[in-house]
Amino acid sequence: MADTMMRPEALSKTETACRSCGSKALTPFLDLGITPLADRLVRQNDKDTPELSFPLVVAVCPDCSLVQITETVKPEILFADAYPYYSSFSPALMAHSRDNVLARLEEKPLGGDSLVIELASNDGYLLRNYVEAGVPVLGIDPADGPAAAAEKIGVRTLNDFFTLDLARKVREEHGPADIVHGNNVLAHVADTNGFVEGIRTILKPDGVAVIEMPYLRPLIEHVEFDTIYHEHLCYFSLTALDHLFRRHGLYLNRVEQLAIHGGSLRVFVQPFEAVEDSVKTMLADEKAIGLDSPAYFEGFSKRVEKLRTDLNLMITDLHSKGYSIAAYGAAAKGATMLNFCGLDTSQIDFVVDRNVNKQGWLMPGAHLPIREPEALINEQPDYVLMLAWNFADEILAQQAEYRAAGGKFIIPVPSPRIV
Ligand code: DWN
């Protein structure tokens, strides 16, 4: 292990059983090495301190099809107080969330005696829309900063991890919920089964849980390997989700495919079975391509290695010709991209990000200094590596001035290309 890395055994556990069904037949298919924590930004004066780093190996369960990483890092390490992710920094995500709430309000008449709960409610980015509609809400989020920001805008928030114990307390003290939202959280929890049982615990018998998560199929098809990091323990297919929810008396009755985050699913889960065609069709499609079996994942690591080779060739060629290179998006996925491809300040001068809570810090591992987006205009680097490629359209539009002055973006997935 590089002397910049430190792996205290007590802070993580290597799993040998499937996180969902407990199978011992986990089949590894991708090894991204021992890497620092993608969201654990580094303070300037800590840059010479060895960073916490852990194995990042991806495996598939042949029994329930769940794709998962095999190392579980303690949550208190992963989601430390300085956890800098604030959803409200993305206008696209805010619009996406507002549309979600408006659609729910269309489908289900809610009023003053209703309750909507969001798990991992962050800074109130989604529940604020229910508050505006006069619907009582309860946010649950372990990150101090975002939870405090939510309270400031009138979103009542429990600053805690959602567990089965907390679910029982919430049901007792706040009552069951008509709607439970959970966006990009199911993949983050170490106790997957306890979390799902907790969802069932806080749902009304006629309630619905509306859960969003990145979808495994585009991850594999578009080589979105950088969305793999220690905070994301699971990578879901509909087949694996169906097994998981049914184990807890919850039924995946409806599914929508979404473009956000490189391709996501929005699943509608209820305590009664009423499975719609959207689910039957997607399950059949997954079976038809073999997404439910380990053979589908053979060869993925070769495609990831080819992306790394191609990106390194492009960056090295540009750099050797004297072009200046920066990056956009101090995203968790950016840390995986940089560290797996071995990119750092020897080729890339800095990264910009609109999240003011990230500016002034360094990216994990690569130690790119995080600056404000205006630095692209002020310094006009020749190229910018788009680490937050899932928001490429929004960012390219936002950076029209930089591009008009001749600046070019490198989009790394599914294969590196210059726009
Ligand atoms: O599950 C998760 C995914 C869904 O979101 C979380 N664990 C963390 C997060 O992953 P990420 O860090 O890769 O997040 P994003 O939202 O894909 O990263 C976007 C980054 O780019 C953020 O730091 C915000 C920034 N940004 C920006 O600087 N200007 C984003 C937009 C849209 C912009 O215009």
Nearest CA to ligand 1 atom 31: 90
Confidence (pLDDT) at 91: 85
Of 234, 260, 291, the domain-final residue: 291
The answer to whether residue 335 is domain-embedded is yes
pLDDT one-digit tens code per residue, 350-369: 999 998 989 999 999 999 99
Cβ atoms 218, 224 nearer than 8 A: yes
The answer to whether residue 19 is domain-embedded is no
Confidence (pLDDT) at 4: 61
Token pair, residue 198, equals 């907790």
* In a shared domain, residues 230 and 313: no
The answer to whether residue 27 is domain-embedded is no
* In a shared domain, residues 235 and 312: no
Nearest CA to ligand 1 atom 2: 184
* φ, ψ (nearest 5 deg) of residue 339: -70, -40
Cα torsion angle, 81, 13, 222, 341, sign: positive
Radius of gyration of the chain measured on its C-alpha atoms: 21
Nearest CA to ligand 1 atom 3: 184
Residue 195 CA neighbour count, 13 Å, CB half:
23
> What's the one-letter identity of residue 112?
G
Confidence (pLDDT) at 363: 97
pLDDT one-digit tens code per residue, 202-218: 999 999 999 999 999 99
* In a shared domain, residues 369 and 401: yes
d(CA 261, CA 79): 20
Query: Which atom from ligand 1 is nearest to the alpha carbon of 85?
Result: 8
Beta strands 351-352 and 370-371 are parallel
Nearest CA to ligand 1 atom 9: 332
Structural domain of residue 186, as residue ranges?
Answer: 87-291
How would residue 81 be classed by pLDDT, with cut points 50, 70 and 90? low
Distance (angstroms) between ligand 1 centre and the Cα of 110 equals 31
DSSP 365-402: TT-PBEE-TTHHHHH--SEEEETTGGGHHHHHHHTHHH
CATH number at 318 reads 3.40.50.720
Cβ atoms 41, 359 nearer than 8 A: no
Residue 273 CA neighbour count, 13 Å, CB half:
7
Confidence (pLDDT) at 6: 67
Residue among 85, 86, 370, 384 to mutate when testing ligand 1 (max atoms within 8 A of CB): 85
How far apart, in Å, are the Cα atoms of 96 and each of 183, 252, 261? 11, 22, 11
* In a shared domain, residues 148 and 276: yes
The answer to whether residue 269 is domain-embedded is yes
CATH number at 185 reads 3.40.50.150
The answer to whether residue 29 is domain-embedded is no
| 165 has a pLDDT exceeding 90 | yes
Token pair, residue 345, equals 């300040």
Cβ atoms 53, 33 nearer than 8 A: no
* In a shared domain, residues 213 and 328: no
pLDDT one-digit tens code per residue, 233-243: 999 999 999 99
pTM as predicted: 0.94
> What's the one-letter identity of residue 5?
M
Confidence (pLDDT) at 78: 83
What average pLDDT does the segment 174-185 reach? 97
Q: Average per-residue pLDDT in the chain? A: 95
| 250 has a pLDDT exceeding 60 | yes
The answer to whether residue 320 is domain-embedded is yes
Residues of the chain above pLDDT 90, percent = 90
| 1 has a pLDDT exceeding 60 | no
* In a shared domain, residues 224 and 280: yes
Token pair, residue 337, equals 């991209």
Distance (angstroms) between ligand 1 centre and the Cα of 41 equals 14
pLDDT one-digit tens code per residue, 83-139: 567 888 788 889 999 999 999 999 998 999 999 999 999 999 999 999 999 999 999
The answer to whether residue 355 is domain-embedded is yes
What average pLDDT does the segment 27-55 reach? 95
Distance (angstroms) between ligand 1 centre and the Cα of 105 equals 27
* In a shared domain, residues 161 and 186: yes
Which position has the higher pLDDT, 59 or 9?
59
* φ, ψ (nearest 5 deg) of residue 241: -65, -40
Residues of the chain above pLDDT 70, percent = 97
d(CA 332, CA 131): 30
Other beta carbons within 10 Å of 109: 8
In the block, which residue shows the tokens 């979390």?
A: 195
| 5 has a pLDDT exceeding 70 | no
Token pair, residue 284, equals 């059949």
* In a shared domain, residues 225 and 116: yes
Confidence (pLDDT) at 83: 59
The answer to whether residue 397 is domain-embedded is yes
What average pLDDT does the segment 68-95 reach? 83
Query: Which atom from ligand 1 is nearest to the alpha carbon of 184?
Result: 1
**Residues lining ligand 1, judged by CB closer than 6 Å?**
85, 89-90, 92, 184, 231, 261, 329-333, 353-355, 358, 388, 390-391, 394-395, 398
Among 111, 123, 183, 185, which Cα is nearest to 153's? 123
Of 233, 264, 291, the domain-final residue: 291
Question: Number of structural domains, the chain?
Answer: 2
DSSP 91-108: HHHHHHHHHHHHHHHHHS
| 82 has a pLDDT exceeding 70 | no
Task: Mean pLDDT check: name the lowest of 2-16, 274-288, 343-357.
Answer: 2-16
